[in-house]
Structure 1
């Protein structure tokens, strides 16, 4: 078997020869320190390994590396400690142009020395091949990981090795590729002003872009506002000498509550009235009870806040029909309320 020192000299000579005529790269050289895990194909127990490598880029995609690798493992049958030392020359081919994440393929050859404790050392020639990935996380620093197969030409077994490590890149960023010639400048193109939202105001003057087309806008493209009054009326009728709210009026009271919930700044005064039957004082009290009944429905069943509802009884003081007729007295036995508020809405196109 050839002397391992001679193999190391041969590998170094190959590196030196490959450096002749190397073009300027992203970096000039790199040193790599890493660890790994060896899954042996022979009679050694799996173990960790440590490696140190020196790399030389020879083109955009190719790098040559000299690697020294060392590990300690136990023989499976005897338990004897075996120290392994490798020296090899590898070639790495990189895929793609992205320097941040770059996959690569690796292959190479070298010498392995196995030194069992208390025994004579032996040498083997190893071939290796595998795939890996590099990540440039800083200008001069790179993380890499790969998995490789190592085949012994002498003993005909194959190891699997997983490794990871950190590389320092010498001269990274100091050389640059030639700047390409600038593209010819095209003649300026005259662009007509646009009205992107179709509101009739050009984009250059539109201070409210994206306005919906159904709204009227001013000269700056902003929606015109319209203030208007909205209102709702309530009228609840009662039987003679009764303050009970009939179920048939619940939907009308619910409509009033919905209106008040929609416009939260509103308040309502419900006014109770009677016909002229009975004494004035009794009618005053009855009208107040009727107003209170409607107020209680709004608060307790419709969940309107109590401070937004006021109840007032007017007795027979404000008739709306003739108390001398049955129909008139029916019209006068009532509770009424009205709510209105001013709102601002967007003005729409015709």
Structure 2
């Protein structure tokens, strides 16, 4: 039912002043009040009904509904199939501007003509009824509207009342909206005194009188007080140091890369580093596990002794031969697998630019 759709899922569109629409409707008929009132049509089980609608809204307060609908109910006690065809015509009243959370209420009054054909006997019956209805409508987009509500239909001959719960979707066309307000050109009859605009010395969009941060960097995004907004970002830097076969000594050729990593850690003093040692598949796995740990510790000593990085910011682990990055079947691949990977992680704040 359209009334069950969360309001947040629907766009907040305005209703046109007038429009026409075509749509589909599904409904559930509670025919309990007609039990044992007379013939076949007065003794039906509850049933579902499908309809096609045409509506026209004449102005913000008045619209009309023309509907043709079909159903295949059964008789309550004998389960005889019945074909039902119904035509309805009614008028609706809408409050011009009143809304319930974006939904527009409506109330209506109409007339229904219904034809019942009994499949087993070939007999038929018609009935006339009037109905009262009430419900809610909402624009989903400029072209589509949903609605839902309830009708009470009173059969004129026997006087019983059936309830109908309905929901539908409409496609709108021939829409008319309010005209844009006219802007008249007013010519000044005298020269107004020149008014100096308030100053904004740092050009951040907040005048000096209200600016609590008068020296904001050019191009920075600021808040209502003129202070730069900052964004917390993650630091991610990775280093690879390769080793000779069965060695733990860090070769001098890798010192410049280790120094660059140390500079990043000094630039971001809250960052930490994880050193992961790795080996190729030469030797036993237990020996390789110890060897990989020793290689990680060797890089840690270079960071501490050569580049003054605190030991408290460094952690090491040995991965052994478990995570090769190349094939161990070639000398070149084994050389790549004899390595230490260093991963710097942390966070820093950066001024957001416009």
TM range (shorter): 0.3 to 0.5
Tell me the TM-score normalized by structure 1: 0.46
Larger Rg: 1
Tell me the TM-score normalized by structure 2: 0.45
